[in-house]
Amino acid sequence: MSTLLANEDELYFERGGVVQGFTRKVFLRLGVTFSVRGRIIGFLLITWFPLLIFSMLEGRALGPTPRESFLLDFSTYLRFFLGVPLLLIAELVVGPRLRETGLQFLRGGFVRDEDLPAFEHAIDRVKRLRESVWAEMIILGTAMAGAWYFTSELLAQQSVATWRTPNASGSGIGLSLTAFWFRLISVPILQFLWYRWLWRMFIWARFLWSVSRMELDLVGTHPDAAGGLGFLGTAHMSLGIFCFGLSAVLSGEAAFLIVFEHVDIETLKFPFAVLIAFSEFIVFGPLLIFIPILTRTRLAWLREYSKLSDRYNRAFHEKWVQGNAATDEALLGSADIQSLADLGTSFEYIRGMRVYPFNLRVMIHLAVITSLPCLPLLLLVMPVGRILELLSKAIL
């Protein structure tokens, strides 16, 4: 694979930043590998296991009520045993995929020679935003504040005491070590990883916006029915890892409500429908910025191929219908007929071209990925035999 630009190596989204650089140094000083597996184990030792120890010491592991019991909080398991690992595994799944997708604009010949400096400038902007110290400090501050002011209890306006309540005794000024660690260490780490990925997704969207403003050399007859940009919709499917993690955490909250507070699962349909719609918008919404150039490409190719079809069809009519063909030229087996059919096929490709670089299939796949963590909830309210019966009826 040849290098077209001097700064191609700077087009990445999963690494970099002052916080990750500091964390790497700490891990290396402690003699711990900075691999994804090593960081997952390290973060679990920092986030979840201290909560277990403190909750046992304070009698909050299994408290007087389910909400005051650390071990009965399903969403906590999913936050730290699934949420944190997925945010780190995304560095192996999402990051490289976005890089290859960005370079595909070059490898696929979509960027014209005169736009190469603009493309190089877009990569420089990616590096500048990715390595911004101010951005990471704001993200870190937001994560620290979010652990205290953006909690599920405050958002739901709940006044019921939970194991996360800072007041250990329910009165007075005592401070629970469990709640203290949860709000000062565990949640900020989780939220920082999440907000940092949101920032990286913004950087990626900003890069796509810059590319969409170039006069890309798109192909109206491309089989992907998106001018050749169909690879964008496929690549964005990797972002489903975030939708899956978010859905899993919300499913944990829902499972708690169903099991311990006997909430009807029917009341949860709307929130999960909103989640699926939100996931579709977050994943595929940024690709809508290509609508203008895809629309222009479709109209331009329709216009040019319409002119070509006019000339060819008239010539075909004059030659074979009006009898201007040579007397020794046979109609049967003539390449003219095959060319006429190929031209019609190409014209249909252009007519069927979408003005957005994704299709219904990838949207359905994302909806399925987002919905998967919700399926175990059915086991809480419906026997397995009944579920299998419904599935068999749906299949047959």
Whole-model pTM? 0.87
Residue 312 lies in a domain: no
Q: Which residues of 89-117 are buried (b: 16+ CB within 10 A; e: fewer)?
A: ebbeebbebbbebbbbbbebebbeeebee
Residue 335 lies in a domain: no
Residue 215 lies in a domain: yes
Q: What is the mean pLDDT of each run of 10 residues along the chain (396 residues)?
A: 73 88 82 83 92 91 86 90 92 93 93 93 94 93 83 56 67 68 91 94 96 93 91 94 91 84 80 90 95 94 86 74 60 62 79 92 92 78 58 52
Residue 333 lies in a domain: no
Residue 325 lies in a domain: no
pLDDT in tens, 81-91: 998 999 999 99
How much is the pLDDT for 332?
53
Do the beta carbons of residue 349 and residue 226 sit within 8 Å? Answer: no
Q: Kindly provide the residue ranges of all beta strands, DSSP E only, lying in 144-195, ordered along the sequence.
A: none
Q: How many C-beta atoms surround the C-beta of residue 360 within 10 A?
A: 8
How much is the pLDDT for 170?
45
Residue 322 lies in a domain: no
How much is the pLDDT for 365?
92
How much is the pLDDT for 174?
54
How much is the pLDDT for 384?
56
β-partners of residue 167 are 175
Query: Which range marks the domain in which residue 28 is found?
Result: 8-296+358-395
How much is the pLDDT for 254?
85
How much is the pLDDT for 389?
61
Total domain count for the chain? 1
Residue 350 lies in a domain: no
Residue 321 lies in a domain: no
What's the sign of the alpha-carbon dihedral 292, 102, 219, 5?
positive
How much is the pLDDT for 1?
47
